[in-house]
């Protein structure tokens, strides 16, 4: 491999795992992790990068020979509602900077994750948060750069993501990560959504694999240039708590909904991802039972990083 891969937002929930997977696939010397944080990446190349700094981004791409770019930096749904203007700037201007610099430097491929936050509860494209609005707008910018400039931008509308390796980043579905840590460490959890709030979810190994499979798919097979829907499972906090109790019988969950409940109420219970299955063979591997078992096994061996 004679070109480099750049992962922006590499310290986030998805970025942490995707960077590891890319290094395993392509070699640690070929993958550059980048984030706004100054911390060094002990496992490979790391650069501190603010997506508002187009000059530095262009330098990294040109100097390192970057031809594939994963842009993951974003302010998520719940956190975004606390500072909408900042969320819009980071999510929208950050994406535009990446697309423009990628175009100018002839990057071959760009991956950018969208979200089920673009939908309302009926599954229509009708976002109700600044995060969802930025993702919906970003999808059309991705298509614009493909159609007008030939930039091969690919995107997935992720459901809530669950991982044992990294902290959640301020999203409405973060409860589905927090609950496991609290179950292991305290034996109880106070959930910020109500018991029956069913939402689409996905275990991180499936989320990472989906990104890699999408980027490996031949361009001719990609029929969606906004973002592909992606699905794996849907469950409520009560259903997840019940599954955890199969392994930890003394676990108890209370529910005290906060402002995140209003966001969850506007999201769909499930999404259809038939185009991803048809175009590039997407198929999930984890259901709620297999995910729960794997999460608890891993959390019994390590602390949250």
Q: At what angle do helices 94-104 and 130-149 cross, to 10 degrees?
A: 10
Pairwise CA distance, residues 172 & 231, whole Å:
17
- DSSP for 215-245 reads HHS-GGG---SS-EE---EEE-HHHHHHHHH
The H helix count followed by the E strand count for the chain is 12, 14
Q: What are phi and psi of 244, to 5 degrees?
A: -65, -40
Give Cα 187 to chain centroid, integer Å. Answer: 28
Any idea of the CA torsion for 26, 30, 33, 38, to the nearest 10 degrees? Answer: 140
Pairwise CA distance, residues 90 & 74, whole Å:
6
Pairwise CA distance, residues 86 & 62, whole Å:
29
Exactly one of 46, 70, 131, 286 is catalytic; which is it? Answer: 131
Tokens of 116: 């089920």
Tokens of 194: 């109500």
7 close to 32: Cβ distance less than 8 angstroms: yes
Pairwise CA distance, residues 50 & 136, whole Å:
23
Asked if 203 is an active-site residue, the reply is: no
- Burial of residue 196 (CB within 10 Å: 0-12, 13-18, 19+) is exposed
Active site residues: 131
């Amino acid at each position: 491999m004679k070109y480099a891969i750049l992962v922006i937002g590499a310290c986030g929930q998805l970025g942490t795992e995707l960077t590891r997977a890319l290094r395993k696939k392509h070699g640690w010397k070929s993958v550059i992790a980048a984030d706004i944080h100054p911390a060094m990446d002990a496992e490979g190349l790391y650069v501190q990068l603010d997506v508002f700094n187009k000059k530095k981004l262009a330098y990294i791409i040109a100097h390192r020979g970057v031809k594939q770019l994963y842009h993951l930096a974003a302010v998520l749904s719940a956190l975004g509602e606390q500072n909408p203007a900042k969320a819009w700037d980071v999510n929208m201007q950050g994406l535009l900077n990446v697309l423009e610099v990628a175009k100018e430097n002839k990057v071959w491929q760009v991956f950018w994750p969208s979200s089920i936050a673009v939908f309302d509860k009926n599954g229509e494209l009708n976002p109700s948060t600044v995060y969802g609005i930025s993702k919906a707008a970003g999808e059309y910018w991705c298509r614009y750069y493909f159609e007008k400039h030939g930039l091969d931008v690919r995107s997935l509308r992720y459901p809530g993501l669950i991982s044992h390796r990294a902290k959640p980043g301020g999203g409405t579905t973060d409860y589905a990560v927090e609950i496991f840590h609290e179950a292991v460490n305290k034996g109880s959890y106070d959930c910020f959504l109500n018991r029956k709030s069913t939402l689409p979810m996905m275990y991180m190994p499936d989320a990472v694999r989906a990104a890699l499979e999408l980027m490996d798919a031949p361009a001719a097979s990609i029929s969606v240039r906004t973002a592909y829907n992606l699905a794996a499972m849907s469950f409520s906090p009560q259903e997840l708590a019940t599954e955890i109790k199969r392994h930890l019988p003394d676990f108890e969950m209370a529910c005290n909904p906060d402002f995140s409940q209003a966001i969850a109420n506007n999201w769909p219970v499930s999404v259809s991802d038939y185009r991803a299955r048809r175009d590039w063979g997407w198929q999930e591997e984890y259901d709620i039972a297999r995910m729960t078992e794997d999460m608890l096994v891993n959390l019994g061996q390590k602390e949250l990083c």
